[in-house]
Structure 1
């Protein structure tokens, strides 16, 4: 897909929850204080894109409660166009994050029956899709409820019909569903997408059985051939891009049959939750502004690295000046 000459706009949909996290290291059972914020894959992405200068609309539902008010206020404050219905009959979801040790993080979800699990296609009107350059969806939204899964699949179908590019991040949550139960829906979404993101284990969920999940190139090429054989006639707006998120080892992409790799950045890690969303935001921002595959990976890796360097799922998502300072090897770490 060639980015539109007009200013690109991304449309995304998914749940954002209130986020409670421990402020120190140790078991949640012994924590005395919790910091309150918000977090959710698609709003993390939306904020990252907005800070990178991309117009973005986020669609969701929240409860008629104080936590829902906080979610809407925080996301709007970051320059995101918020289209979220307030549901009087269901609560805003909640996640609790703790660091039992300096090297581990645990995340617990309380989102069954949440307002966002009641999303429907009516929450994604045709005019929002028609105004978008790209629709981004994630696998985690399909795990909220059958209705949410149907909403995501319908949005992808309508986007394809309208000639809108589609981005899909597998973004699997094992605590919400076993891997074996998601292969079919993830594969359908990937087959209808222009850009597919995932970690190696996530991409292996939709690759042909027997594909080596430890070999990024073999995995991407096998997955590309597999998805091509499954793609509906109206899928996509050009050649498919497959992107493997490799954590500290960087990332790799397969674009038009060409493999590109970019090493990760060595940074002091405080919290890795949200880094994958930041990577996708950086990659898509670069893609939408015409960058080549190597530059897309570079910016994705940089966004992810910066996110790892402070607590919170989105708070350290970079603005252009932050990114420039990070990528300048001779820059002064003190901003005066």
Structure 2
């Protein structure tokens, strides 16, 4: 782990996660854990040997204690975390398998402590140890006005401290509409150094009249000032579009998919890890599809994230293609 400071700063809501063994209406057993896109990335990076600080608010309850305990146990700095003193609870996520692969997810997060994250708390957490990278997702600004203000402030702080900004669009239709998301993400795009999105999320970051071709959309984002655009394509792998006009594609690692939840977060962790190691685009994609493969081959949101020593367990099965 880097001993000279925090490499990555991220923030958002992490919830208590209950995973059922079958349909919830039938009862049965449940596995207890925690889950949140940003903390999933934080854990993934920590397992790969990087110093990461997570900021967020949890309730003054046992679920909040579990969130903080889990992150600490995984080597994530939670010095920026706070406990809501107003009685708001830690959010809850319920998951139930319905078919061999699809999992149905139910959220109980309205009015949660995590949605009440304040800009002043975030500023203290950020400036206490300015990072090399700020990692944002499109989930946090959708939670509440105060969370959106905190995210906007984080972008300003990143600019003031010359931190690279990574944005994973991570659109959640249950939290806000396409129109609401687009109004925020289009404003943020010029401040983003690395934008990561699935191909159907790219239009949210562009004007309404943008062309439908993802490759052209990526070029338009680069023209707006985004430093690099990484398009996640699920089982088809991922493609990175860079400032010099080139694109690189990496096929997905062939593994037996057990649970796709958290795969995108694992991908982001792998990509940022390789960036922090000073590797080029091809190597960043290679590590990202590798960490993503570990995630889909394991159950849980973050439990399958590999350590650095485990990366070699999935030997490269196909080369990165220059386009």
Question: TM-score scaled to structure 2, two decimals?
Answer: 0.91
Stretches of structure 2 lacking an aligned partner (at least 5 in a row): 318-323
Pairwise CA distance, 1:325: 1.4
Pairwise CA distance, 1:301: 0.6
Partner of 2:258: 270
Partner of 2:82: 85
Question: TM-score scaled to structure 1, two decimals?
Answer: 0.88
Measured on the aligned residues, the alpha-carbon RMSD in Å equals 1.8
Q: Is the 8 A contact 2:123 2:154 kept in 1?
A: no
- 1:293 aligned to which of 259, 281, 284: 281
**Distance of aligned partners of 1:151 and 1:251 in 2 relative to their CA distance in 1, 3 Å threshold:** same
Pairwise CA distance, 1:17: 0.1
User: Could you tell me how far apart the structure 1 residues matched to 2:11 and 2:252 are?
Assistant: 28
**Distance of aligned partners of 1:180 and 1:23 in 2 relative to their CA distance in 1, 3 Å threshold:** same
Pairwise CA distance, 1:219: 2.5
* Number of residue pairs the alignment of both structures matches: 311
**Structure 2 residue matching 1:143: 3-state secondary structure:** helix
**Structure 2 residue matching 1:79: 3-state secondary structure:** coil
Q: Is the 8 A contact 2:101 2:259 kept in 1?
A: no
**Structure 1 residue matching 2:146: 3-state secondary structure:** helix
List per-residue Cα deviations over 1:225-280 (Å, max 9, x = no partner).
Answer: 2x33xxxxxxxxxx701111111111111112221111111211111111000000
Pairwise CA distance, 1:31: 3.7
User: Could you tell me how far apart the structure 2 residues matched to 1:136 and 1:176 are?
Assistant: 20
Q: Is the 8 A contact 1:253 1:259 kept in 2?
A: yes
User: Could you tell me how far apart the structure 1 residues matched to 2:195 and 2:259 are?
Assistant: 24
In the alignment, does 2:110 pair up with 1:112? yes
Please show how residues 52-131 of structure 1 align to structure 2 within 5 Å.
Answer: 52-82=48-78, 83-88=80-85, 89-125=87-123, 128-129=126-127, 131=130
List per-residue Cα deviations over 1:3-27 (Å, max 9, x = no partner).
Answer: x9x6761000111000011124xx3
Pairwise CA distance, 1:216: 3.4
User: Could you tell me how far apart the structure 1 residues matched to 2:181 and 2:289 are?
Assistant: 27
